[in-house]
A and B are shown apart, each in its own frame.
Chain A
Amino acid sequence: MDYLASMYIDNELALSEKIQFVDRIQSDPHFYRNTRDLLLQEELLRVPPDTSRLPLRPPGLRAARSWFTRMPKPILYAATGFAAAGLLWLSLPANPAPVCCMNRFVIYAPSAHRVDLAGSFTGWMPTPMSSVGNSSYWETNLQVPSGEHRFSYILDGARHVAAPTLAGARKR
């Protein structure tokens, strides 16, 4: 039942499970410490550095965000989820990062017929992404110089999808 800690973090506990959880917190110091450590880790995961304080906002991003918040929830969740997964993929370098390297961008967009990637490293020019078979995933590999970048996915030539966690991503 150790996963009660994660269920607590994710707000997935039913009432009866909440009772189990508080009982366990009170009776099991090891479970308490584990839960607290996971909460601290989660705080770091969910609150990336607020890079919005930097003057790096590309033109049109505010409009894209406005549209982004109006997306239907299932699509929003799916798109941002897999965009976030794509972001985490970018944190993969097993060796020291070279000055410039290929980076894989991945997004799950089942409703899209075409997906482009546009960012500071493309001069905000849309770059077509390739569909991965019939999986509804779209991908592209681009050389991205070291530094901080902004980008968004463009679905069907018009719908901008900015992954919220990308504001905290930093590449060196």
Chain B
Amino acid sequence: MDGYDPDTHAGSAYNPEQYTIEGEAFDRLLKAISHLSVEDRELIALVAAVNMTYREIGRILNTSEAAIKVRGHRARTRLRKIMASRGE
């Protein structure tokens, strides 16, 4: 943690233990995402991380809203199976 001075932030809302737990959970998720295909990662990023609509994603990826609906669900399901297979 570059530049972090515990003395300066003693008594603040920052909780190192909670921060570490959240960080580890997010790291596990990123590792699982890294096992997805590029297309699946892109869809996960667009529907989940940025919360775009299917129509907007379809326009950007030059495909139909219906295709995004199905592909997005498959990407999510694949991610869930990867997380489950890794005990997460």
Query: Are these two chains actual partners, yes or no?
Result: yes
Chain A interface residues toward B at CB < 8 A:
2-3, 5-7, 9-10, 12, 34, 37-38, 41-42, 44-46, 48-51, 53-56, 74, 77-78, 80-81, 84-85, 87-89, 91-94, 108, 120, 147-148, 164-165, 168-170, 172
CB distance from B4 to the nearest CB of A (A): 6
B interface majority secondary structure = helix
Chain B interface residues toward A at CB < 8 A:
1-5, 8-9, 12-14, 19, 22-23, 25-27, 29-31, 33-34, 38, 41-42, 44-54, 56-57, 60, 69-70, 72-73, 76-77, 79-80, 83
Residues of A contacting B69 in the complex (Cβ-Cβ under 8 angstroms): 3, 6-7, 12
A81 close to B50 (CB less than 8 A) = yes
Q: Which of A5, A51, A77 has the most CB of B within 10 A?
A: A77
Residues of B contacting A10 in the complex (Cβ-Cβ under 8 angstroms): 47, 51, 53-54, 72
Residues of A contacting B34 in the complex (Cβ-Cβ under 8 angstroms): 91-94
Q: How far is the CA of A120 from the CA of B54 in the complex (A)?
A: 34
Residues of A contacting B79 in the complex (Cβ-Cβ under 8 angstroms): 41
A54 close to B14 (CB less than 8 A) = yes
The 5 A-B pairs of least Cβ separation, nearest first, read: A3-B73, A6-B73, A91-B30, A49-B22, A84-B45
Chain A residue at minimal CB-CB distance from B56: A77
Residues of B contacting A51 in the complex (Cβ-Cβ under 8 angstroms): 19
| CB within 8 Å for A91 and B56 given contacts A38-B80, A85-B42 | no
CB distance from B46 to the nearest CB of A (A): 5
Q: How far is the CA of A68 from the CA of B28 in the complex (A)?
A: 29
